[in-house]
Structure 1
Amino acid sequence: MTTFNNKSLIVLLALVSGGVAAEEPAETAPDKKPKRVQTVADIFEQPGVLTPKGSFVLDTSLSFTQNSSNTVSVVGYTVLPSLIVGLIEANDTDRTTLTFGLTGRYGITNRLEVEARIPWVYRYDSISRRSVNGSGSDAPELRTFDNSDLGDIEAAFKYQINMLEAPYWIAGVRFKTTTGSSPYDVPIDDQFGFAELPTGSGFPSIEPSMTMIMPIDPAVIYANLSYIWNIEDDVTVEQDGERTKTSIDLGDTIGFSAGMGFAVNPRFSFSLGLSHKTIFKSEVNGSTPADAKLLQLDSISMGANYAINRDTTLNVGVTAGLTADAPDFQLSVRIPYTLK
């Protein structure tokens, strides 16, 4: 195996396992097995970058996502290029999402890891609507909606393909359930959309992925390619006072991300990355609606990782959207704790 120093190992463990280990104290009992990989020698004997065999990581996370949009709609027709007859409306929408997640990861072997995640989602939307040339008061009409509930529970498996030589390749598959409230199960507001905000997508999905990790002293380069397959399902839709069954096939998603991590010292590291997602058009009853859109989501992310002690780390990350469809801002805080 190619030799690389402690700094690269720290970053590699932070990127893949979500945590890095502090140096092992000298007074540790010799017969006590380490809870995390601490030394280069340990890596040589067990060069796994996933959760070690028999170890359990409890990862507590909290994320804050903010997204806003401003739209102007015109209902009418033009008489002259500078004259519009009809109704002009300006909408200002602010959407805030708080997600508390509890994730457990267990190392079945040094190559194979299993993961489960349970999210609790709180959503708050503020929608302001103003009729620019309508009758009555010019004051905007403001409505707020909020809801909190269980989100979509996820389960995942990760397998490290090679162990001895870099770059390391990790294959994974993630399953998403429909435990969160579906957009088709919540009441609808005729003017503002949802009267009660959903906390799930309403459709199960399967996401295979492949991750590459390349240690380059003293940094680590990573890249990830994934595909989200949303499984088609039948939903009940109310239209013109009648409830009918409709077949919905949400657009699948291709995702690619890449970046680098750099260890400043054995306790602290930071990372920079770029992410791109392409969401294909959805289908209704086997055909694509005329207003369906192909979405492009690009974002840039920065993160910092600090090892509080040999079992606990603190991860802080920020993400900024680069395209109109991507969330404007996201802040996440994670605290992985390793048990044996």
Structure 2
Amino acid sequence: MTVPTTALIRSGPLLAAATFFAGTALAQEPGQFDVDPEAAERALERALVQTGSILLPAGAAEVAPYFSFQRNESEVAGVPVLVGNQLVGTTIATDQNQATAGVILRAGLPWAAQLDLNLPFTYQENSTEQRVLGASLTNDSQDSTGIGDVVLTYTQSLTGNDPDRPAFLASVSYDSDTGDRENGLYLGTGFQEVELALTATTRQDPLVFSVRVAYQHGFENNHIQPGDQYSLAAGAFLAVNPQTSLQFGFTVAYTDDYQYQGRTVSGSDQFAASLNLGIATILRRNTLLDMAINVGLTEDAPDFAFVVSLPIRFNFR
């Protein structure tokens, strides 16, 4: 999931980590502290599962309720208007807020495979304002609430468990286009989509590096053929103490021009890039708190997004 909070929210877990280190330093001799390797491995492993970098063991399952929010602001030139005896340019500012609450169900399968099911419920608000000389000329807003796109993902390991070699995962995802449409707003993508992805991870203790490349194809709907999308995501994961890991990464994605009634709409391609920061901490033996923020680096990327999830693991073996 990418995902997606402010520096204030981020500072809480980081402050807790700092407090942990301070307390450990007081309890031990200078330069010495006790670390449970198995606990540290659990924290890092749980964080890697959330990003699709490794798989759940066979016989394990996770229920991961989550909440995400993203905001995007854009501004384009509008039609000039007559002010007095002079034509004055206008601007059209659009603000979009989207909040999603949902649950991701994960199941570890035999033969080193995993199945994921994402069930979202979304609220979206769009507001459009036309401005002239800094003053509001017109203002319009719409909002919609309902089911988002249900997404099913199957992931298969392509390599063994040799820690000295990179591990590769192949996955296929299906976006069902179940998102509601109300007041002209889509609560999903508006298209059925299939995505193929390849993920590689390698370990250089105490770091784990992950790279993911993906190709996404959307199917025509209402005479609109969405452009194919090519994306690259890279990240590094660091186990900072037995209970907590940090994530640093970036994502870039290019989407081709879309077609309307068989004709390509020139200039409709998009390039989105974002910076991703995350923290995951074990609350209980089977419960993880995972938080991440995404900051848009290009005009086509959401300006800001955050996600908070609470994966709960069950072992049936």
Question: TM-score band (shorter)?
Answer: 0.7 to 0.9
Shift of 1:286: 1.9
| Residue 92, structure 1, aligned to residue 93, structure 2 | yes
Structure 2 counterpart SS, 1:178: coil
- The AA in structure 2 aligned to 1:17 is V
Structure 1 counterpart SS, 2:284: coil
Give, in whole Å, the separation in 2 of the partners of 1:270 and 1:141. Answer: 45
- The AA in structure 2 aligned to 1:281 is D
Structure 1 counterpart SS, 2:294: strand
| Residue 210, structure 1, aligned to residue 209, structure 2 | no
Give, in whole Å, the separation in 2 of the partners of 1:11 and 1:170. Answer: 21
**Deviations along 1:66-90, whole A, 9 cap, x unmatched?**
11112222448xxxxxxx9646222
Structure 1 equivalent of residue 122 of structure 2:
121
TM-score (norm 2): 0.80
Give, in whole Å, the separation in 1 of the partners of 2:252 and 2:302. Answer: 12
**Deviations along 1:248-277, whole A, 9 cap, x unmatched?**
210111010101000011200101001100
Mean Cα deviation higher: 103-112 or 303-312: 103-112
Shift of 1:9: 3.5
Any conservation in 2 of the 1:7–1:219 contact (CA below 8 Å)?
no
Any conservation in 2 of the 1:7–1:264 contact (CA below 8 Å)?
no
| Residue 62, structure 1, aligned to residue 94, structure 2 | no
Shift of 1:197: 2.0
**Deviations along 1:149-190, whole A, 9 cap, x unmatched?**
1001010101111122221111111000011125xxx5xxxx
Higher share of residues assigned helix:
2
Structure 1 equivalent of residue 149 of structure 2:
152
From the CA coordinates, give the structure whose radius of gyration is larger.
Answer: 1
**Equivalent of 1:258 in 234, 237, 241:** 234
| Residue 288, structure 1, aligned to residue 264, structure 2 | yes
Give, in whole Å, the separation in 2 of the partners of 1:333 and 1:304. Answer: 10
| Residue 333, structure 1, aligned to residue 313, structure 2 | no
Structure 2 equivalent of residue 307 of structure 1:
282
- The AA in structure 1 aligned to 2:143 is D
Give, in whole Å, the separation in 1 of the partners of 2:156 and 2:273. Answer: 27
Shift of 1:11: 6.0
Shift of 1:232: 2.2
Any conservation in 2 of the 1:8–1:218 contact (CA below 8 Å)?
no
Mean Cα deviation higher: 142-151 or 312-321: 142-151
Go from structure 1 to structure 2 and tell me whether the alpha carbon gap of 1:49 and 1:132 turns closer, same or farther (over 3 Å shift).
closer
Give, in whole Å, the separation in 1 of the partners of 2:214 and 2:46. Answer: 20
Give, in whole Å, the separation in 2 of the partners of 1:101 and 1:321. Answer: 23
Go from structure 1 to structure 2 and tell me whether the alpha carbon gap of 1:264 and 1:139 turns closer, same or farther (over 3 Å shift).
closer
| Residue 72, structure 1, aligned to residue 70, structure 2 | no
Any conservation in 1 of the 2:47–2:245 contact (CA below 8 Å)?
no
- After TM superposition, what 4+ stretches of structure 1 lie above 6 angstroms from structure 2? none
Any conservation in 2 of the 1:8–1:263 contact (CA below 8 Å)?
yes
| Residue 201, structure 1, aligned to residue 201, structure 2 | no
How much identity, in percent, do the aligned residues show? Answer: 24
Any conservation in 1 of the 2:281–2:290 contact (CA below 8 Å)?
yes
Any conservation in 2 of the 1:97–1:121 contact (CA below 8 Å)?
yes
Q: For the aligned residues, what is the CA RMSD?
A: 2.4
- The AA in structure 2 aligned to 1:13 is E
Give, in whole Å, the separation in 2 of the partners of 1:163 and 1:9. Answer: 18
Structure 2 counterpart SS, 1:264: strand
Structure 1 equivalent of residue 140 of structure 2:
143
**Equivalent of 1:17 in 49, 53, 70:** 49
Shift of 1:12: 4.8
- The AA in structure 1 aligned to 2:306 is L
- The AA in structure 1 aligned to 2:264 is T
Structure 2 equivalent of residue 278 of structure 1:
254
Give, in whole Å, the separation in 1 of the partners of 2:196 and 2:229. Answer: 11
Structure 2 equivalent of residue 222 of structure 1:
210
Structure 1 counterpart SS, 2:186: coil
Give, in whole Å, the separation in 1 of the partners of 2:97 and 2:307. Answer: 14
Mean Cα deviation higher: 280-289 or 213-222: 280-289
- The AA in structure 2 aligned to 1:68 is E
Give, in whole Å, the separation in 2 of the partners of 1:72 and 1:126. Answer: 16
Any conservation in 1 of the 2:96–2:125 contact (CA below 8 Å)?
yes
Go from structure 1 to structure 2 and tell me whether the alpha carbon gap of 1:8 and 1:170 turns closer, same or farther (over 3 Å shift).
farther
**Deviations along 1:92-128, whole A, 9 cap, x unmatched?**
2211000112110111126011111111110012222
Give, in whole Å, the separation in 2 of the partners of 1:171 and 1:338. Answer: 23
Structure 2 equivalent of residue 240 of structure 1:
none
